[in-house]
Structure formats: structure tokens, C-alpha cells
Amino acid sequence: MAATIKGPAIFLAQFAGDAAPFNSLDSICKWAASLGYKGVQIPSWDGRLFDLKKAAESKSYCDEVAGIVARHGLAITELSTHLQGQLVAVHPAYNEAFDGFAPPEVRGKPRERQAWAVEQLKAAATASRHLGLDASVTFSGALAWPFAYPWPQRPAGLIDEAFGELAKRWKPILDAYDAVGVDVCYELHPGEDLFDGATFERFVDRLKGHKRANINYDPSHFVLQQLDYLAFIDIYHERIKAFHAKDAEFNPTGRQGVYSGYASWTDRAGRFRSLGDGQVDFTGVFSKLAQYDYASWAVLEWECCLKHPEDGAAEGAPFIAAHIIRVTEKAFDDFAGGGTDRKAVRRMLGLGR
């Protein structure tokens, strides 16, 4: 049966805060529903909205969470473990920068921090099943990222070793998700070892095609890399199990291009923008996803260097709703069709009377 994308939904991470209505799951869901959203993607690390440990241990707690969300006419789309996924693999150059993603007791202790992250991800697998979810979104972490540009010349085997280690770390996590029937959807993102199609393929190959290694499709990161984000859907649609609707623009100058000269986000050639303010061809994106029967959620991830987040959220719901294609179950030229049988078909081909 033809599939229609679900939505609009909103990722709550960029909106959660200490002030109402963004400081509790109940109030932030009421706010999201008032804007026209039908789903929420929950950041599993934000204790103001969600208790991951409790969710993994208690189906009753998950029922309560789902009830709070449903009270506002919303559904939970996925749990996000982006921050914990980042900590599965951290190159030493980034140890201090990423320590803030972890609790105080494991900061400055890379091994303990990694072990904590792995347990968090496994907990999210169980919590996802308790919530009746079929997918979760995350980052892969990175060991090879400092060597993304091939200068100085990389020694033979460096990248293969990095991806072998990354796959080794993720295999037991992916197996835990497989045991509960939940997909892991990696957001392909600069700063992660999985940042484009080629790196994703390299990773999946090392995992012998693990069926739970999938993609959270986000065209904004591909605009900034100058990758063909529509052709990407043609190639990887079977692995796309989640979708962040996020806009971006790339405006190179005589002074800067993809690397943007260490400029701030406002001054970069490549910038994230609110939906409709950037260069992503969302008509093309939604059409491609509909063509391949993508049946899950379109989730707004708001990141913009200019616009206020509340304005971006308010504009995002109608933008997504306007782009969702209600997929037809009939052909446009059915009115002109005529009944035939095999004999008639052969006659039409001149193969018999």
C-alpha cells in the first residue's frame, strides 16, 4: 500500500529550557500542539523532559510519558541519543570539548565516559520498545574526523583501523536494538565519522550489512558539503528510517567556501536556516521520499543563525504540512483504461488472433 509521510513533528532539544513552557514535557507538548505539530522527538538526555533510566526500567513510566504526549493530541516520533552517541567514539583531540555531554562523575575519564554512553544507548533501545517506537536517532561519534582532509598524507590503514574500531564499538549496541526491534538512525553530520554516503557505506560494510544501522536523513548537512541530497535518497532510500526537516544555504565568496575560514555561523558561506529561508529543495525531498514509500515522520530540527527559535517553530509546522504528499493509490490515467486479458495483449502485439 502507498505510504504517506507523517507529520509535522518537532525535535524538542533546541527548545527545552528552564522557563515555561519549555521546562516540562507537559507544557512543551501543549506549546507544540498549539503550533500545529502532531509529533515530538524527545532528547533522551534532558531530565526536564524525560528520565531515560526510569524509562528503560519501567514500562509504566513510559505509559505515563506517552499519556502526557497523547493528552495534547501528539505522538512520540523517536527518542534522540545524539549526545550519548557522540561519546561512543571520541578522538583525544576532542576529549575536553565533549566532556560536557557526560555526567560529572565520568568527565576526564574517556573509558568510563564511553562505557556510560554505551549503557545510555542500550537503555534507549529498551525505552524505545516500551514506548512502542520502531526507530531512534543518534550520532556515530568519531575517531577519524581529525584526518578528514588528506594532508598530511594519511598512513596506510589509518581509516580502515578507525572504521573497524567504530564498528566494533557499535556492534553490541546495534545488536541490543535488534533484540527489541528498533532501528538506529545515524544523522550523517560533519564532526562524525559517518558524515556522507561513502562513510556510511564503509561503516555498514564493516558491520556486514547490519540491518539496524540506518539513516536519519537531514539535507541541510549535505548542502553544506555540496553533496547531491536528492540523488542521496535514490541511493540510500532503503536505509532512510527517520527524517530531520532542516534548511541550509551555501553562498561561497572569493574569501571562503565549504570550510568557511573559521568564521562564526552568521558569517559562514554555509549556514543553517529556518525552514523556507534556505536553499533546500523540499518539494524535491518530499517527492523523493514519497516515491520510495517513506512512511515515518518529518521532524523539524530548528537551527538558524538569524531567526528566533519560536518564530522558526511557528513557521515550521505549516511548512512541513504543506509539503507532505498524500500519496495516491490510483493512476491519473485510470479513467482511460480498458479491461484486457492475455489474449488481447497478444493480439495487440501481433502475436495471435
| Residue 337 pLDDT class (50, 70, 90 cuts) | confident
226-242: average pLDDT:
98
Q: Which residues contact 198 (CB under 8 A, 6 or more apart)?
A: none
Sorting pLDDT into bands at 50, 70 and 90, what band is 78? very high
Residue 296 to residue 71: CA distance in whole angstroms: 21
Provide the H-helix boundaries in the chain.
25-34, 52-57, 59-71, 82-86, 95-98, 110-130, 158-180, 197-206, 219-225, 229-236, 282-291, 309-323, 342-348
Per-residue pLDDT tens digits for 14-30: 999 999 999 999 999 99
Residue 130: predicted pLDDT: 98
Q: How confident is the model at residue 208 (pLDDT cuts 50, 70, 90)?
A: very high
For 276, residues 6+ apart whose C-beta sits below 8 A from its C-beta are 247, 282, 315, 319
* pLDDT value of position 345: 86
333: which 3 cell numbers? 490515467
The terminus-to-terminus CA distance of the chain in angstroms comes to: 36
C-alpha cell at 194: 559517518
pLDDT tens column, 45-77: 999 999 999 999 999 999 999 999 999 999 999
Under a CB-based contact definition with an 8 Å cutoff, are residues 306 and 266 in contact?
yes
The tally of CA atoms less than 13 A away on the side-chain side of residue 283 is: 0
Per the CB < 8 A criterion, the answer to whether 301 and 218 are in contact is yes
Asked if residue 319 has pLDDT above 90, the reply is: yes
What are the beta bridge partners of residue 138?
81, 186
Report how far Cα 138 is from the mean position of its chain's Cα atoms.
7
Is pLDDT above 90 for 339?
Answer: no
Longest C-alpha distance within the chain, in Å?
84
Please check the confidence at residue 1 and state whether its pLDDT lies above 90: no
State the pTM of this model: 0.95
Name the band, by pLDDT with cuts 50, 70 and 90, for residue 3: confident
Cell numbers given for 97: 570539548
pLDDT at 353: 61
User: Is residue 255 helix, strand or coil?
Assistant: coil
Please tell me which residue, 332 or 115, carries the higher pLDDT value. 115
Question: For domain 6-348, is the CATH number 3.40.50.11400?
Answer: no
The reported pLDDT for the residue numbered 342 is 86
pLDDT tens digits for 84-106?
999 999 999 999 999 999 999 99
- For residue 338, pLDDT beyond 80: no
- Name the residue with higher pLDDT: 347 or 222: 222
Beta strands in 230-296 (DSSP E): 240-245, 247-250, 270-273
Grid coordinates 556510560 are at which residue? 116
Percentage of the chain exceeding pLDDT 70:
98
> 352 pLDDT band (50/70/90 cuts)?
confident
Find the range with the poorest average confidence among 58-67, 226-235, 336-345. Answer: 336-345
